């Protein structure tokens, strides 16, 4: 029996074959389940900086700040909230090329996202998918719902579409007029122990880009945290995207 196993293993290795995964390993390899709310990283020692509502005029600056600080960020982008997404094509391509994660935040960021029909939710997601395929060549498998709305048809629809649903465990309240110092205090209070944080931040605020983000890069280094993408912090480093179908559109 030992000889047979060794022989098979040797032949597989010689042929460059990948080992056969058990059912549990297959599930783990597939990454987080779709349509299930995720609030934190799956392991300690990391921090996943996640920014909503872009792309915007600060996107390239944020990409540069993260990259120069040795950090990876996740950009939950929309199609039209702060202008047409194609207007920031170069910044999104720069983010993608530098290893940051591009994820979905819906096409128009509707205030009633949580009460939309399945058809309308699907339209919100697929319109953005097409634009992202046009811009970066792939479509995302991660999303954060506008206003963190996960009720109604949201989760069943995201499951059908194959989206991992991200919310947060620290709300920086930058959207609520918190100063960077007030947001920083939230991280200091939460601490760096336990599974890594996935904060709610917005790349549309100068204070978040210019002050809070550099502070968080230093805070992470002080606390021996690695700043990674949301997919990486969930043990899914290769699962952030799938192939999709684009078109010739270049405007919204």
> What phi and psi values does residue 33 have, to the nearest 5 degrees?
-70, 145
Of the residues 53, 105, 202, 236, only one is catalytic, namely 202
126: left (phi over 0), alpha (psi -120 to 50) or beta: alpha
Work out whether strand 142-143 and strand 139-140 pair parallel, antiparallel, or are unpaired.
unpaired
Question: Choosing from 52, 53, 174, 236, which is the catalytic residue?
Answer: 52
Q: What tokens does 4 get?
A: 């047979």
Q: Partners of 139 in the beta sheet?
A: 242
53 is catalytic: no
Tokens of 9: 């293993």
DSSP state of 22: P
The two beta strands, 49-52 and 142-143, are unpaired
Contact 214, 65 (CB under 8 A): yes
Residue 128 contacts residue 104 (beta carbons within 8 Å): yes
Q: Is 52 an active-site residue?
A: yes
| Host H or E run for residue 195 | strand 195-197
Instruction: Return phi, psi of residue 242, to 5°.
Output: -135, 165
User: What's the CA gap between 154 and 156, in Å, rounded?
Assistant: 6
Residue 121 structure tokens:
């939710």
Residues with catalytic function: 52, 202
């Amino acid at each position: 029996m030992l000889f047979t196993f060794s022989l098979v293993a040797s032949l597989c290795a010689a042929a460059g074959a990948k080992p056969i995964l058990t059912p549990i390993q297959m599930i783990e390899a597939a990454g987080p389940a779709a349509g299930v709310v995720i609030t934190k990283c799956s392991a300690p020692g990391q921090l996943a900086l996640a920014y909503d509502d872009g792309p915007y005029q600060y996107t390239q600056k944020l990409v540069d700040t993260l990259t120069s600080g040795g950090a990876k960020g996740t950009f939950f982008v929309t199609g039209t909230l702060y202008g047409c997404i194609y207007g920031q094509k170069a910044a999104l391509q720069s983010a993608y090329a530098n290893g940051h994660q591009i994820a979905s935040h819906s096409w128009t960021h509707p205030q009633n996202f949580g009460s939309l029909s399945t058809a309308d939710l699907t339209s919100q997601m697929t319109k953005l998918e097409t634009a992202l395929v046009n811009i970066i060549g792939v479509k995302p498998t991660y999303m954060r719902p506008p206003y963190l709305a996960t009720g109604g048809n949201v989760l069943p629809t995201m499951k059908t579409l194959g989206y991992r649903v991200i919310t947060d465990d620290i709300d920086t309240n930058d959207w609520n007029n918190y100063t960077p110092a007030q947001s920083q205090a939230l991280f200091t209070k939460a601490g760096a122990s336990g599974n890594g944080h996935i904060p709610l931040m917005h790349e549309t605020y100068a204070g978040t880009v210019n002050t809070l983000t550099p502070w968080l890069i230093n805070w992470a280094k002080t606390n021996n945290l690695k700043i990674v993408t949301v997919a990486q912090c969930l043990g899914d480093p290769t699962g952030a995207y799938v192939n999709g179908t684009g078109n010739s559109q270049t405007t919204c």
